[in-house]
Amino acid sequence: LRNMVPFVFLSVCTLLVFHFHFSHSRYFGLFYVALIIVIISYRLISRHLLEIYRKKGGNVRKVVLVGSHENMQELYHAMTDDPTSGYRVLGYFEDFPSDRYPQDVPYLGQPNEVSLFLEKHAGEINQLYCSLPSVRSAEIVPIINYCENHLVRFFSVPNVRNYLKRRMHFELLGNVPVLSIRCEPLESLENRIIKRAFDVVCSGLFLITVFPFVYIFFGIAIKLSSPGPVFFKQKRSGEDGREFWCYKFRSMKVNAQCDTLQATENDPRKTRIGEIMRKTSVDELPQFINVLKGDMSIVGPRPHMLKHTEEYSNLINKFMVRHFVKPGITGWAQVTGYRGETKELWQMEGRVQRDIWYI
């Protein structure tokens, strides 16, 4: 779908730009719908047939393991628990027989015997996975050299699972391999451009159409409710921890605690119109100005006042991960029940978990 949608879009644009005339435009649309269905069906059927073939012993990659660390145990089960994976583990090498593998997995010898084993079974082994620590490079390098010269694919399994119990992502910086602990879609320039374009278009349209009428109506109501400005601005924590001025319709009487004390459900500082604006989230609408300026996005983790950022960063693990992206007017946490006042710490922890999931 990711490739088909741009293809269809470019095809239509090409036909329109060069004034190609086609009398049966309905069939043109049906063709692309049918094409998508055929491609999806082809992939599903191909995968199903491959699984059946592998269950019967075809398309099998014969594998040898070197080492028995915790990550190698998981690797073994990933290869063998599903008969359609296409792997057949012939055994493992380790300094001594290990009880970390099932008893029916053959112990093939010590790591310094790997090359002899591969030479004895030349042409039979397809892949070798090694988790020996880097301090044993004197043993690892000969294994790599033999594999490279005898058509055996060598894979290094870094021993990081003893302190990182999560999925990691591999990338290269120059020629140096690096493992990152999370993959963020917004690291992609393409995704950043799409998200920013969406923010600019939507916020711009809102600010020049609906917002002027909202501003006039609620601006008059705010002025009549209590003395003070129509807008309330407050410094909040943004992307990469940068501070920015966040705009809202003023929903409270002017007070000295606005930057230190969070609003509560029955807060006496709230005005009557402020109560209505907070319940309907109308007070947040000026943040479309922040979106257009680039301080915020329409969707993202809600920005917190500086005092709360300081407090919660010391109380909640990974709280600051929320600041890897621009804050939003609304977010995944807000639409899944973690909206408004946070009376208990677990509420903020739930919000942080959902914000990180969104990022």
The tens digit of pLDDT for each residue in 195-227 reads 999 999 999 999 999 999 999 999 999 999 888
CA 136 and chain centroid, separation: 35
Q: Is the pLDDT of residue 300 over 90?
A: yes
Please report, for residues 260, 272, 345, the alpha-carbon distance to residue 311 in angstroms, rounded to integers and kept in the order given: 11, 30, 11
Confidence at 260, pLDDT banded by 50, 70, 90: low
Query: pLDDT higher for 23 or 177?
Result: 177
Confidence at 1, pLDDT banded by 50, 70, 90: low
pLDDT tens for 29-61 read 777 788 888 888 888 888 777 777 767 766 688
Looking at residues 93-105, what average pLDDT do you find? Answer: 89
Q: Are 359 and 327 in contact (CB under 8 A)?
A: no
* Measured distance CA(22)–CA(31) in Å, rounded: 13
CATH 3.40.50.720 location in the chain: 61-180
Rounded to the nearest integer, the mean pLDDT of the chain is 85
Confidence at 25, pLDDT banded by 50, 70, 90: low
Q: Is the pLDDT of residue 248 over 60?
A: yes
Give the homologous superfamily in CATH for domain 61-180: NAD(P)-binding Rossmann-like Domain (3.40.50.720)
Max Cα separation, the chain? 91
Of 4-8, 267-271, 335-339, the one with minimum mean pLDDT is: 4-8
Closest to 293 (Cα-Cα) out of 205, 196, 213: 196
Backbone angles phi, psi at 8, to 5 degrees: -65, -45
Q: Is the pLDDT of residue 126 over 70?
A: yes
